[in-house]
Structure 1
């Protein structure tokens, strides 16, 4: 939401933390330095009916991340 991108590590097969353009610790929010903000979502549908004790299921996750610096992150998930 604030323009940062999370670099992809092909070696590890995952996304790394974003490089925060305006870290929160250097200026206050009123000065326009909110850190980095990202909204995330995931939906999954699984089917294990062929397994002995299997079944079907759905799950969804919604959340928000706020990176105050590159090393400090606040999370909110449902």
Structure 2
């Protein structure tokens, strides 16, 4: 399903033509937006279906300062 809609969206624009959108990229974007909008890390873990916070943290791509703020 992701491939179908990626091809439909990205094929319209020559700048984005040939770029791939994948489920992991969607997860990373979702995780970053969730945290930056003040979402709780534990709830994000549940939304992403992870068993550990460490796995969830890998999806957020936050700076050290941002991570410290979230963890506090």
TM range (shorter): under 0.3
| TM-score, length basis structure 1 | 0.20
The structure richer in helix per residue is 2
